[in-house]
Structure 1
Amino acid sequence: MSKGKFSSGVDLPLPVNAPGVTKQERAYQAIRDAILNGLLQASDRLPSTRVLSQRWGIARGTVESVFERLQLEGYITRKVGSGSLVSAVIPDSYLKAVTDTRTGEPDRNESVEIEETPVRQEGRYRAQVGVPFVARLASPLLIAPAEWAAHLQRAMAAMKPEQMCDVEPQGAWVLRDQIAQYLRKHRGIDCRAEQLLITNGIRHSIDLVARCVLKPGDDVCVEDPGYPAVHRIFEKAGANLLYAPIDNEGIDLHGISDSAECRLAYVTPAHQSPLGVIMSATRRLELLDWAQRQNAWIIEDDYDSEFNYQSAPLPALKSIDSMKRVVYCGSFNQALFSNLRLGYILAPPELHHRILALWHTIGRSVGVSEQLGLAEFMRGPAFLRHLRRSRQEYQTLRDIVLDTLMAEAPGRYRISGEHAGFHLILWLSPDQDEDALVREAERLGLMLQPLRNSCREIDLPPAFVLGFAALTRAQARNSARQLARLLH
């Protein structure tokens, strides 16, 4: 296909209509899959939204939304007067993995079918609800204790005697089935209940993976800046940390030599922690290609993907993992409340068995009542209703902080990473004293967390990680005013 022209792509059919799948999602899949499968290549021009809407018989506004989503994820670029061009570069190894899957060739990592039989103070910040501006902390005010108790009560009343005694090593089936349905519908991940393992949170999941994969002296690639608590888990496992810088497309692996004996990479692609960058499609595919060459695993920490304020949550890296290198880790500790202590792992089959064997050996700390209660909560409309309510409230809190700062301290800062999640980045103007701001903020009862605390080798300008989710609206407004005065 010649550069800048579009031929075969215009003949792309919409995927077969499936129950619960919207026309927008089908249109998105048609274009994204054409790019991932190599039918559309970098610099190829897409037809206009008008042409596609006529071709597919769907509203032009729907196709516009699809193009905006593809641009946000880094698959295409759009310029006025130039149209829409494919921007994602697909490694040959990724295309080969897709082809092998389609032709039925066995994957070297595929193992026997998974069976349901047993295999014989992140510091002080996390506990301080209502203290501005603590990051990574959900609001405990958005789910009423009575509502949660009602679901627990219904689940316990329906509990069978064998559920009170017999242990399901991977976690309660009913919960895993609900999670699998959620991941298929909302995160684009094709999975089944038997592929999931229940844990008590993402850090617990990462620790299990580290124990199964790493030996003392192994290299682990981590983001810089990154999540220090996870870095400490790898250090406890005896690993050497290789720091890959984050830029505006996500993790940059060009400084990590292929000669390094890297066994594992840890990433937060949907909303990089802490910068908030969305990993581009090209970088995602480069990461998968790197893992295949290195025979390494990728841990995808999907810690707050439910809370995207610009569009629907972005698809997970796991959703395009044709090479079976990604270990997907999720949690309900931020979607619901932090002390719920319920998370899950979705690992490729080879690694799944090793993690399950370890988990069975060291014991399971997640109680069956909490698992059944959460399954009951997810079975009906309550869970999705809670996510919608929470997303709206967090967006309102974010807007209060941003609007107040804009009105009372214009030109004294710059904001990034505000499109999703529980925090944003506030970059200081060159004349401001970061340390003095921290001291003055603490005197006022504000908790400013310097971005430098998350940096290792990368050198970034002074900035703060500003959390807003665990505040009331009045607290958000008042604390933003106090911060604005300090910025002046």
Structure 2
Amino acid sequence: MPDHSTPLVLQCVDLDSGASRPLYDQLYRDLRQAILSSQLLPGMQLPSTRALADELGLSRNTVLGAYDQLEAEGYLQSRVGSGTYVAQELPEALRSVRGESHLNPSSQRFSDDAGDASPLSERGGALTDLQLSAFRPDEKPRAFRPGLPALDAFPIETWSRLVSRRWRSLPASTLGYRRSTGFPPLRETIAAYLQESRGACCSPEQVIVVSGTQQAITLVAHVLLDPGDRAWMEDPGYPRAEGAFRWAGAQTVPVPLDREGLDVDAGRTRGDAQIAYVTPSHQYPLGITMSLSRRLELLEWANETGAWILEDDYDSEYRYEGRPIAALQGLDDAGRVIYVGSFSKVLFPALRLGYLVVPEPLIEPFSAAKSIVERCPPLVPQMAATDFLEEGHFKRHLRRMRTLYAERQSVLIESLREQMGGPVDVSSDEAGLHLTLFLDAASRDEAVSEAAEARGVTAPPLSFYAADALDQNGLVLGYAAVDAEAIRDGAAQLAEAIDAARSDGREEPSEIAAS
């Protein structure tokens, strides 16, 4: 029999089957708001997870996830053998909260003497809609969070020695403000490295040191685009790039992909743009390498229209068959390509070092913009990175990591085959730190991702990266950050999640549709 509080709880819950936010998170937010607004009073017993799941037509894991989060934050208390209750010790200030006040400032308005006013700008409100924090970094890497290198394999002792050596010999004169564009020897080393390994054409003056790829994309968006300008985005593609362009007030235009990369003809049918954001060496997240003919076609489009191309070369160093693909920037003889690189994947993300390579006419405006965004990047990490590259540590580390990541990728594919009982459909395995596992039509990727999260496995759904509806379901699986044992365990949990999502779909069709 349903608990006597079930009808009251149901009145507080309004799940949106078409929303991008996972169902467990919607339920968590609705219950939290009901507690804060005193619809659910301290000490009130809530329905059991099984009873509420039955009433809402959800899987029990979905309700468990919401209850666990509320309990962890102190809103609920579990009593062994008795049930789950609204916490007694909520602060009086929280118990007096009404409505949505302070909980979702991007979607509500407040009143003052001057009348209604939004607490956020339109740009700020638009950013919250992108759900960029849907997959937060974990304190400890776990299967299969994409975007992380093998932190446990980084030569930290060598790095520590280089940093210590620099600090011991650092003159007092260097402790003041430095150039906003970066440590000159590092810029020289980066330019030489890009010329040798990526086929880029650049001078040290064109290299601008930044605090990672995200700052680079944000700088490009604000320097080159006016509000209302259009930006072509790969679809599916990197959501944080879209966020940077929208923050600058640009209109993002999703452009589909084919086997050769960004479909330039499809982009033309959607209207020209002032910039195109691409990941040509290893498309994120599908792993496509843009063909030479498509690269030339994209360059021709930029030359014809006066548009810019932003080339994000985020993990080009990790190619397991043949030599790394040359950068698109090296083919550009008209100065239309801005190149972005980063040390996050080849060293470690917390270093926060990346670089822009801009055409010569853009050196001055980008240098000025960099000085506004960041007066000067931290000096000693730049010095240590210079030494790491110049003394050969970088090349040795890359060789070791290519071998390690190829092994971990192989373990992942083989583990998936064992757990799935046969061949699996994955994206290109020639490069990168992640694979996309394509699912059959019976497996909705959002539902599988939610089921995997409940089992301690992060597997972002491919649909999370897409603006338009995709023909395929899939999961983006990072394999670089965890060892073989964790990969095998993660594959087993993932197989269970796929089976669970299918089972929920058969027993509760509305659950899969709502996901």
The reply to whether TM is greater than 0.5 is: yes
Distance 1:170 1:353 in 2: 10
State the partner residue of 1:326.
Answer: 337
Give the letter for the 2:363 counterpart.
Answer: H
Matched, 1:416 2:427: yes
1:244 is matched with 255
**Cα displacement (A) at 1:193:** 1.4
Structure with the greater alpha carbon radius of gyration:
2
Aligned partner letter, 2:142? V
CA distance in structure 2 between the partners assigned to 1:371 and 1:395 by the alignment = 29
Partner Cα separation in structure 1 for residue 424 and residue 439 of structure 2: 5
In structure 1, what is the Cα distance between the partners aligned to 2:169 and 2:242? 42
Contact 2:405 2:433 in 1 (8 A): yes
Q: Distance in 2 between matches of 1:384 and 1:164?
A: 30
Deviation of 1:391 after TM superposition, in Å, equals 1.4
d(CA) in 1 for partners of 2:269 and 2:474? 33
Amino acid of the structure 1 residue aligned with 2:304: R
Q: What's the CA shift string for 1:80-113, capped at 9, x where partnerless?
A: xxxxxxxxxxxxxxxxxxxxxxxxxxxxxxxxxx
**Number of the residue aligned with 1:378:** 389
TM-score, normalised by the number of residues in structure 2: 0.68
Name the SS of the counterpart of 1:416 in structure 2: coil
Q: Deviations over 1:394-448 (max 9, x none)?
A: 1111111111122332347411132211111101123334344233322221112
CA shift, 1:344, in A, is 0.5
Letter in 1 for 2:397: H
Provide the residue aligned with 2:459 in structure 1: 448
Closer, same or farther in 2 for the Cα pair 1:433/1:199, shift >3 Å? closer
Which of the residues 148, 166, 170 maps onto 2:181?
170
Q: Does 1:153 align with 2:159?
A: no
Asked if 1:195 is matched to 2:206, the reply is yes
Q: Is the 8 A contact 2:253 2:270 kept in 1?
A: no
RMSD (CA atoms): 1.9
CA-CA distance at 1:365 after TM superposition: 5.1
Cross-structure match for 1:38: none
Q: Distance in 2 between matches of 1:468 and 1:442?
A: 16
The count of residues paired between Structure 1 and Structure 2 equals 368
Shift of 1:350: 1.3
User: Are positions 1:183 and 2:194 aligned together?
Assistant: yes
Q: Distance in 2 between matches of 1:213 and 1:445?
A: 42
Aligned partner of 2:371 in structure 1 is 360
CA shift, 1:163, in A, is 2.6
Alignment match, 1:217: 228
Residue 434 of structure 2 aligns with an amino acid whose one-letter code is: H
Compared with structure 1, are the counterparts of its residues 210 and 279 closer, same or farther at alpha carbon in structure 2 (3 Å cutoff)?
same
Q: Aligned in 2, Cα 1:197/1:461: closer, same or farther, shift over 3 Å?
A: same
Counterpart Cα distance in 1 of 2:339 and 2:444: 40
- Note the alpha carbon deviations across 1:161-202, whole angstroms, 9 max, x for none: 433235223210111111111111111112221221100011
Q: Percent identity?
A: 35
After superposition, what is the alpha-carbon deviation per residue over 1:201-249, rounded to whole angstroms, capped at 9, x for unaligned? 1110111111111111111111001111110111111111111101110
Cα distance in structure 2, aligned partners of 1:448 and 1:406: 17
Stretches of 4+ aligned residues off by more than 6 angstroms: none
Q: What is the TM-score when the length of structure 1 is the normalising length?
A: 0.72
- Number of the residue aligned with 2:298: 287
Deviation at 1:258, TM superposition (A): 7.8
Aligned in 2, Cα 1:373/1:348: closer, same or farther, shift over 3 Å?
same
Supply the distance in 2 between the matched residues of 1:306 and 1:232 (Cα, whole angstroms). Answer: 26
Q: How many angstroms apart in 2 are the aligned matches of 1:423 and 1:383?
A: 22
Distance in 1 (CA, whole Å) between partners of 2:243 and 2:188 is 32
- Residue of structure 2 in register with 1:430 after alignment: 441
Give the secondary-structure state (helix, strand or coil) at the position aligned to 1:127: coil
* 1:343 partnered with 2:335: no
The answer to whether the Cα contact below 8 Å between 1:155 and 1:376 also exists between their aligned partners in 2 is no
Q: Do the aligned partners of 1:219 and 1:240 also contact (CA within 8 Å) in 2?
A: yes
Change (3 A) 1:146 1:414: same
CA contact (8 A) 2:281 2:313 kept: yes
What letter is aligned with 1:472? D
| 1:303 corresponds to which of 295, 314, 322 | 314
Q: Contact 1:450–1:463 (CA<8 Å) still a contact in 2?
A: yes
Q: CA deviation at 1:376?
A: 1.0
Q: Distance in 2 between matches of 1:388 and 1:259?
A: 42
The Cα of 1:349 is off from its aligned counterpart by: 1.1
Deviations along 1:262-287, one digit per CA (max 9) or x if unpaired, are 21110000000110000000110010
**2:491 matched residue in structure 1:** 480
For 1:434 and 1:360, the matched residues in 2 are separated by: 43
Uncovered stretches (5+) of structure 1, i.e. residues with no partner? 1-120
SS of 1:141's equivalent?
helix
**Is 1:262 the counterpart of 2:273 in the alignment?**
yes
CA contact (8 A) 1:218 1:263 kept: yes
Greater Cα offset, 478-487 or 381-390: 478-487
Structure 1 position 232 matched with structure 2 position 243: yes
| Cα distance in 1, alignment partners of residues 294 and 379 from structure 2 | 39
Q: Is the 8 A contact 2:446 2:463 kept in 1?
A: no
Per the alignment, do residues 142 and 364 of structure 1 end up closer, same or farther by CA in structure 2, a change over 3 Å counting? farther
Give the Cα–Cα distance (whole angstroms) in 2 for the partners of residues 261 and 455 of structure 1. Answer: 20
Q: Distance in 1 between matches of 2:416 and 2:200?
A: 39
C-alpha distance in structure 2 between counterparts of 1:399 and 1:319, whole Å: 32
